[in-house]
Structure 1
Amino acid sequence: MTPLTAHSLPLAASGLKIDWARMPTYNTIMSVAAGAGLLLVVVLGRRLLVGGRGGGAPDGWALAFGALGFTLVTTGLHMTLTWPLAGQGFPFDNVIFGEPALAFGVFLLAASFYLWKRGAGLLEEGGVDRVRLVAMPISVFVFGMGLACFGIAAAGWKYTLFAAPPEEPISGEFSDWPWLEASFMSGLYVLVGIGALLFPFALRRPRTWTSPVIGVVWGLAGLAFLVFGGLNYFTHIGLIVNTM
């Protein structure tokens, strides 16, 4: 998951050089935070639906969502408002990474605030109904971002975005097949989008098939974003070293 795309590959033949002062990139920590946030949402949702003990302290959930939300809001807001953040010809990165990160970060911060103020009663009987009523208005925004995820995925496939140049370790080994990483990343956005589109319907009837489906798609996407973001700490450092 790099700010460079297949459009940069022809430059690699003559030795790709990047002015990193004009190409700030931190979708590494954004990916890790988004992945962790999706996984925690799935775990908390399951805890509310299944009930029982071992769900953790509400303050702990508030702190976790607050830390992840702060990370995504600060990075996503800067990427969204600094146009373009990638000053060497990749303004679509602001839309692909910045805006979804900002939206998810706002969701997490809102959840953190609510859990901090009212979390003590959520892990008790009746917590599902309370969450369902409270989250219903924001579900319109979640649904809209689900549509956005499908739009990003479609753009990734059509324009072969996300492909790494040969100078990037590991991912660059597949630079001759730009559709591969484009399909992988677009697939993750599709998974997130499916869960977001189903979210309002799951709130109306939380104990139907919609909730398990959301858990599966967001769980898979969260794990992938978490692992891939961690891996990118190596690949992006390698890309910087190889293109300075």
Structure 2
Amino acid sequence: MKAAMAAFFELPLMEKKKFAMGANDLEGYGQAYVVSEEQKLDWCDLVALKTLPLEQRNLNFWPLNLPGFKEAVEEYSIEVQKVAEEINANLSILMGMERDGLKRYQGELKQLMRMNYYPPCSSPDLVVGVSPHSDGGSLTVLLQDDDIIGLQIKHKGEWIPVKPIPNALVVNIGDAIEIMSNGVYKSIEHRAITNEKKARISAAAFAYVDDELEIGPLDSMVDDPHRPPMYKKIKYIYYIRQVLARKMDGKAHTDLVKIQT
């Protein structure tokens, strides 16, 4: 998977531009969360592809003439989805349901793969690789370089580096799980920083629910009066549209559906 990503980002710019994102599209090559001509862009190249389910793939965005790329992404996406499903099953038990509780509630998780390339930057203190945000889906499974620290999470107001563990995956809780767990499992605010001397690549597999699913606190996570519902119910497509309409600027999106007390 890492070799496939590296091969894509090493292509000439004009070749990569053949797979450029369209207006208001999540897929393709370019920059995410561009909502204003005035905003500063992240120090990052990316290509995003809908990988699962198979019928939702748009192969116009896939560099099919790049040897081994499609095969590597297909195999990795299937295997990493198994990881997400296993975590979901265990979360179901922790949330007071059977192992298939979340699967029955949210259906088969869909997957978007975002592959990132962070070039070296001579002034890493002046830019950010990916702006602070939390992920809007259920779970994110991240593959990162083994020897370059780039990911940071916000903890008690401080940015904490996530030191890579060789051959390991990083898992982020997304906003949808925070809402469904009634705030017990909180989505994590995170960002990516740049490196002065080394380029860095990563692949984030976003597992997310169906657009038409209404998400809200699950019955097993609500206990009136000790733990009343803390979030409103909302159709997922409406939630994610509001997230995508904003510039990435911290973890504020779940405030959209928090019940004010």
Give the structure-2-normalised TM-score: 0.25
- Larger RCO, structure (CA 8 Å, separation 6 or more): 1
Give the structure-1-normalised TM-score: 0.27
